[in-house]
């Protein structure tokens, strides 16, 4: 993994020192909260409903065991012994005390981490495929490019005061696991006609109150031109993005106002004026950075393991976990292990300090010292030998982290909602907990198959509800919390924005409504191979709407789920 050089180390230490001084001035009354605000936000310190919250970047979702242990130490020492992993590969500490923030920033710097550019109208933490470097379907490791982009976009004066925040995601695999089509810029590494790699570039994706799926601005950008092309996009956005209206300031609004062709024309005109050699990355620099990401030298291991097979035969829970959470690795004999932070009844994306320590320990013993954070708010051990799967599973069971629900209905994405956020209309966490409790039976959950359920507490869409196969949005209706349900969204290559199914529900009716939707799918799907999303695309929303709001259909559909032959 990437290691800081002297420049990085000095820069982060200097920032920590400055921040300590700023906090001291605030505490002594030398700065008002208003004067302090831009300073704290540049170091990821937000003010939420009840306390400050510190958002820490986990660049492209990669953590060493040492870093995760340090996050556990921070949670235990200065927070309430937990952290919240977000969809954008950050961790948030929800109960930070202002006087402790400098010590936390110092503790982060000790392990080459920081909270810079996790807030504000700048280029935020660049996110990537959590299976980067180990995925069986990968063309090229996107972490190298994510690191290149991190260096290019960090404290770049021209990108520090953009019209609005800016999010970039990158994948090098066939399957999109980073929701690139819902980012301001999405990058996919693809092969060109001669077999060389380059980038397919998408622009203008995003959610919030005006959701858009990203549009393809370049089909194949040569790899050595990436930085100058992105710089041209940023310049056009910086010049013409709407600064007069915060709701219209994201690049998606500009792209859609101009139309893709005109936006592309302006980008290419700008690109032609740039001194590309001074911006594009020299090949030697790429080689230098790539060296940090050389794959670990893995011992040859047999893909077949008699002990593993025997355990799977005798232990159905273990077998279910292997089927659900364990994924093919590019090297035979090794596996990618998904660690669920979604035990039914718990807060989605939260991990306790003890759980973080347990995962760090498993990474040290069985996982080549590495952990990843996912878009789905879970963790991953990217490289585990098949023969160690049982030991890893036992460790996860002991830590309460072995729920076998990767990408199933209880693997819910949820924002903090009204429990923490001062922008919220409604609670998101308790709704997620209630729904997960309804679907606590692992056999039923597995029989439902892949189904993404996402919840946001307001239209800002931090919980990516638009991209959920089932989306739930908290709305305020005459002072009471209501929830609008959408169906058919997807964050993947077939990205789509969900359709509103009908009038909103009160909190107490939401879990039942989700049951009705699932039961309707269960009754109408062609067979168990037809996923919820595929069935929805075939059926449209009418049968779901009828089951939810009509009479008659609901009991039959619910009965279908209850009597399911699973």
Tell me which residues touch ligand HEM (CB under 6 A): 46, 48, 53, 86-88, 92, 164, 182, 206-208, 250, 415-416, 420-421, 423, 460-462, 464
Residues between 145 and 174 that touch ligand SF4 (CB under 6 A): none
Cβ proximity of 470 and 453 under 8 Å: yes
Q: How many CB atoms lie within 10 A of CB 209?
A: 10
User: Segment contacting ligand SF4 (CB under 6 A): 164-172, 303-311, 421-429, 541-549?
Assistant: 421-429
Give whichever of 177 and 250 is closer to ligand HEM, judged by the CB atom.
250
371 belongs to the binding site for ligand SF4 (CB under 6 A): no
| Chain residue at closest Cβ approach to ligand HEM | 208
Residues sharing a CB contact under 8 Å with residue 386, sequence separation 6 or more, in sequence order: 301, 302, 303, 305, 308, 333, 334, 335
SS3 56: strand
Give whichever of 214 and 416 is closer to ligand SF4, judged by the CB atom.
416
Task: Report what 456 binds from ligand SF4, ligand HEM, none; CB cut-off 5-8 Å by kind.
Answer: ligand SF4
User: Segment contacting ligand SF4 (CB under 6 A): 171-179, 313-321, 367-375, 410-418?
Assistant: 410-418
Using H for helix, E for strand and C for coil, what is the string for 157-222?
HHHCCCCCCECEEEECECCCCCCHHHCCEEEEEEECCCCCEEEEEEECCECCCCCECCEEEEEEEE
Q: Which of 179, 358, 424, 496 binds ligand SF4 (CB under 6 A)?
A: 424
As a whole number of angstroms, the distance between CA 237 and CA 239 comes to 5
As a whole number of angstroms, the distance between CA 348 and CA 342 comes to 5
Query: Phi/psi of residue 166, each to 5°?
Result: -140, 125
406 belongs to the binding site for ligand SF4 (CB under 6 A): no
Task: Report what 397 binds from ligand SF4, ligand HEM, none; CB cut-off 5-8 Å by kind.
Answer: none
State the minimum distance, in angstroms, from the CB of residue 391 to ligand HEM: 31
State the minimum distance, in angstroms, from the CB of residue 314 to ligand HEM: 38
Give whichever of 198 and 204 is closer to ligand HEM, judged by the CB atom.
204
Q: How many CB atoms lie within 10 A of CB 369?
A: 17
As a whole number of angstroms, the distance between CA 515 and CA 223 comes to 47
Could you tell me how many helices (H) and strands (E) the chain has, helices first? 20, 21
State the minimum distance, in angstroms, from the CB of residue 255 to ligand HEM: 14
Give whichever of 172 and 489 is closer to ligand SF4, judged by the CB atom.
489
State the minimum distance, in angstroms, from the CB of residue 505 to ligand SF4: 18
Q: Which of 51, 103, 279, 423 binds ligand SF4 (CB under 6 A)?
A: 423
State the minimum distance, in angstroms, from the CB of residue 452 to ligand SF4: 17
Tokens found for residue 505: 């529900």
Torsion, Cα of 68, 73, 75, 81 (10° steps)? 110
Tokens found for residue 283: 């090949």
Residue 455-494 contact track with ligand SF4, rule CB under 6 A, x = bound: -xxx-xxxx-------------------------------
Task: Report what 457 binds from ligand HEM, ligand SF4, none; CB cut-off 5-8 Å by kind.
Answer: ligand SF4
Tokens found for residue 231: 């710089």
Q: HSE-up of 178 (CA within 13 Å, CB side)? A: 32
SS3 495: coil
Tokens found for residue 429: 């966490």
The footprint of ligand SF4 on this chain (CB under 6 A) covers a number of residues equal to 13
44 belongs to the binding site for ligand SF4 (CB under 6 A): no
State the minimum distance, in angstroms, from the CB of residue 83 to ligand HEM: 11
Catalog residues that contact ligand SF4 under the rule CB under 6 A. Answer: 415-417, 421, 423-424, 456-458, 460-463
């Amino acid at each position: 993994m990437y290691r800081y050089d002297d420049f990085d180390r000095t820069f982060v230490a200097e920032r920590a020192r400055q921040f300590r001084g700023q906090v001291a001035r605030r505490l002594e009354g030398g700065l008002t909260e208003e004067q302090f605000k831009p300073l704290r936000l540049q170091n990821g310190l937000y003010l939420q409903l009840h306390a400050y919250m510190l958002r820490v970047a986990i660049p492209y979702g990669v953590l060493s065991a040492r870093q995760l242990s340090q996050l556990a130490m921070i949670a235990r020492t200065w927070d309430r012994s937990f952290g919240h992993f977000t969809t954008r590969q950050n961790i948030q500490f929800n109960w930070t005390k202002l006087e402790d923030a400098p010590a936390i920033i110092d503790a982060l710097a000790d392990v080459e981490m920081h909270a810079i550019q996790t807030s504000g109208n700048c280029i935020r933490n660049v996110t990537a495929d959590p299976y980067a470097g180990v995925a069986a379907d990968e063309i090229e490791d996107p972490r190298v490019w994510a690191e290149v982009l991190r260096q290019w976009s960090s404290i770049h004066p021209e990108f520090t005061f953009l019209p609005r925040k800016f999010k970039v995601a990158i994948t090098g695999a066939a399957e999109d696991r980073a929701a690139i089509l819902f980012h301001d810029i999405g990058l996919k590494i693809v092969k060109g006609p001669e077999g060389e790699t380059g980038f397919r570039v998408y622009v203008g994706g995003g959610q919030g109150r005006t959701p858009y799926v990203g549009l393809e601005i370049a089909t194949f950008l040569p790899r050595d031109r990436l930085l100058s092309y992105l710089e041209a996009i940023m310049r056009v956005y910086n010049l013409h993005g709407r600064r007069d209206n915060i709701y219209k300031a994201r690049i998606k609004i500009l792209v859609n106002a101009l139309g893709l062709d005109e936006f592309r024309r302006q980008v290419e005109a700008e690109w032609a004026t740039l001194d590309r050699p001074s911006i594009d990355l020299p090949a030697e620099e790429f080689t230098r950075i790539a060296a940090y990401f050389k794959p670990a030298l893995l011992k040859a291991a047999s893909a077949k393991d008699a002990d593993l097979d025997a355990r799977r035969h005798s232990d159905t829970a273990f077998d279910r976990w292997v089927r659900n959470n364990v994924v093919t690795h590019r090297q035979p004999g090794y596996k990618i292990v998904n660690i669920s932070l979604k035990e039914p009844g718990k807060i989605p994306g939260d991990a306790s300090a003890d759980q973080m320590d347990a995962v760090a320990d498993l990474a040290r013993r069985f996982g080549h010292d590495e952990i990843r954070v996912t878009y789905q708010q879970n963790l991953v051990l990217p490289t585990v030998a098949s023969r160690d799967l049982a030991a890893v599973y036992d460790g996860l069971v002991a830590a309460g982290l072995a729920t076998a629900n990767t990408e199933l209905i209880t693997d819910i994405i949820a924002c903090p909602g009204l429990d923490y956020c001062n922008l919220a209309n409604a609670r998101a966490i308790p709704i997620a907990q209630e729904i997960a409790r309804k679907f606590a039976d692992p056999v039923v959950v597995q029989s439902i198959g892949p189904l993404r359920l996402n919840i946001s507490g307001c239209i800002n869409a931090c919980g990516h509800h638009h991209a959920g196969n089932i989306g739930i949005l908290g709305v305020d209706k005459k002072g009471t919390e209501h929830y609008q349900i959408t169906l058919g969204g997807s964050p993947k290559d077939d990205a789509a924005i969900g359709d509103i199914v009908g009038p909103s529900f009160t909190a107490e009716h939401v879990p039942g409504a989700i049951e009705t939707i699932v039961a309707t799918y269960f009754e109408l799907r062609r067979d168990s191979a037809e996923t919820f999303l595929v069935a929805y695309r075939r059926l449209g929303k009418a049968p779901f709407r009828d089951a939810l709001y009509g009479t008659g259909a609901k009991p039959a559909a619910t009965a279908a789920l209850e009597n399911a032959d699973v």
